Structure 1
Amino acid sequence: MGTVQSVDRALMILDILARDGEAGVTEIAGHLGVHKSTVSRLIDSLEERDLVEQHDPRGKYRLGIGVLRLAGATTARLDVVQEARSVAKSLAAATGETVNIAVLSEGAALYVDQVATAGAVQSHNWVGQRIPLHATSNGKVLLAGLSDAEARKVLGRRLASYTARTVTDVGAVVKQLAEVREQGYVVVVDELEHGLTAVAAPIRNAHGDVVASFSVSGPTFRFAEREVAAATTAVVEHALEVSRRLGWRGAA
């Protein structure tokens, strides 16, 4: 309970500084109704993480650059969704299937947007959910944006099996990533759930970093060789368009 209370008070300190611009330990203690020593301890922890900084020798504090770092991460995700939304609608219309956009988050693929046409077989709304990296097309694209060492670290030692086709050997998954990087897309069939096929390609920022993954998914019975080829071409082209909007000028 004490830890939760400390977290709550630390967040209140950030709120106070956001509201007032700057404040001293005594002022903050007065707002929170706690002793100054309690505020000092919390300030020290926040300062270590650059979330607050001392404004002047009088002991005033203000929000630090760490807040900008956190806000920047959120802004980047919002930029991807904003720039990709119309393109996702175009891709869904072109393929007649469900389009998902995912980003890397806490060792998983976090789905941040989804577009489905009226004819798409949409069994689930993935937005806001984290999906395993090793068993999904979006996840493998996001992993391919990392180095092999980083990918191994994110994957860990044990990979869960979801179907008979799920690749659970870390070395085998890492080997697949080289292919994803080389061809610029990945096709995953029945690895997360039976009857689900998905094709994904990377979305890059102005620096060429993979910041998100763009995918088309649908029932496996609708994805014969010709349909997979068409979906792959469409996904790669549309992912490149979003990357262009984010400032990427490299090749697909």
Structure 2
Amino acid sequence: MASNIDPESGIEAEGADIEAEGGQQGGVQSVDRALAVLEILARDGHAGVSEIAEEMHIHKSTASRLLGSLVSREMVHQNSERGKYQLGFGILRLASSIPGRLSLVREARPVLESLAEQYKETVNLAVLRSNYAVNVDQAMGPSTLATYDWVGSLTPLHATSSGKVLLAALTAEERDRILKETGTPARTPRTITNRGKLESQLLDVSRDGYAVAREEFEIGLNSMAVPVYNHVGTVIGAVSISGPAFRFDPEQTPGLAEALKQAGMQVSANMGFTRR
């Protein structure tokens, strides 16, 4: 089959797309090209017909037809001042329908199980509810000593690694409100009850991307947690891994902090988050 690309210019010959689009293969090609246009606009913010045509190695008339079709569907909008194109509100309508269909527990489950299998410890998924961290799912490592089912348990924000992650993501005003309502009672002799010391640790959480609790909620239990983000970059949960203090020191476990961060980012990506 002869190529439709001009060997000298590297651009598709004008009119070649019209012939191709007459069949099923041409229809698939048109869809693929339309998606490529959307990806270019998403990446660059805006682009003109010539820029799109050059990058896609197609004729300007083809690029113009693709853009015209996308404009008619409100997927693309033309800036009247500069004549360039950008993503339209149609894309927003499509995207806004996704979050409501995503289940945090369902999207996180394979990641939790993989992490528990790799490190042989208990992995939990927690969210913020009524001033507490609520565990909504749990995966057990194959050789873990823990048998307690944490799902549904309310745990204090100031004394757990998940809670610290959730606290660190709040505004200062919201954090102050919650801590005034709940206080910072000692769960063990190691619980951080001093507000200033807690705030300092939360700054470390924001900087380092993870939180650690060493026997602060329960004697003999250590844990580490990382945030989970939604499609707009808001922290909506925390993934934690915990184990017996006699064998589990999260910050001394080789590769754990990075593996946990990657797990958090994977769940976040499943929820539509894109790292900027």
Residue 235 of structure 2: aligned partner: 210
Residue correspondence of structure 1 range 13-32 to structure 2 within 5 A: none
Q: Sequence identity, in percent? A: 39
Q: CA offsets per residue over residues 211-234 of structure 1, 9 Å max, x none?
A: 000000000111247743432222
Distance apart, 1:106 and its partner CA: 0.3
C-alpha distance in structure 1 between counterparts of 2:252 and 2:113, whole Å: 18
C-alpha distance in structure 1 between counterparts of 2:158 and 2:251, whole Å: 25
Please say if 1:102 is aligned against 2:92. Answer: no
Residue 209 of structure 2: aligned partner: 184
Q: CA offsets per residue over residues 94-117 of structure 1, 9 Å max, x none?
A: 111000000000000010000002
Q: What is the one-letter code of the residue matched to 1:178?
A: L
Question: Is the Cα–Cα contact under 8 Å of residues 115 and 263 in structure 2 kept in the other structure?
Answer: yes
**Structure 1 residue ranges (4+ consecutive) displaced by more than 6 angstroms after TM superposition:** none
**Which 5+ residue runs of structure 2 have no aligned equivalent?**
1-96
C-alpha distance in structure 1 between counterparts of 2:171 and 2:233, whole Å: 14
C-alpha distance in structure 2 between counterparts of 1:197 and 1:140, whole Å: 14
Question: Is the Cα–Cα contact under 8 Å of residues 216 and 231 in structure 1 kept in the other structure?
Answer: no
Q: TM-score, normalised by structure 2?
A: 0.61
Please say if 1:219 is aligned against 2:254. Answer: no
Question: Is the Cα–Cα contact under 8 Å of residues 100 and 114 in structure 1 kept in the other structure?
Answer: yes
SS at match of 2:253: helix
C-alpha distance in structure 2 between counterparts of 1:146 and 1:186, whole Å: 14
**Which 5+ residue runs of structure 1 have no aligned equivalent?**
1-71
How many aligned positions are there?
178
Q: Could you tell me which of 232, 245, 262 is aligned with 1:237?
A: 262
Q: Could you tell me which of 170, 174, 181 is aligned with 1:150?
A: 174
Quickly say closer, same or farther: Cα 1:110–1:75, change in 2 above 3 A.
farther
C-alpha distance in structure 2 between counterparts of 1:107 and 1:150, whole Å: 10
Which structure has the larger Rg? 2
Residue 87 of structure 2: aligned partner: none
Q: CA offsets per residue over residues 30-76 of structure 1, 9 Å max, x none?
A: xxxxxxxxxxxxxxxxxxxxxxxxxxxxxxxxxxxxxxxxxx9x968
Q: CA offsets per residue over residues 152-187 of structure 1, 9 Å max, x none?
A: 111116311011110012232122111111110011
- The RMSD of aligned alpha carbons is 2.1
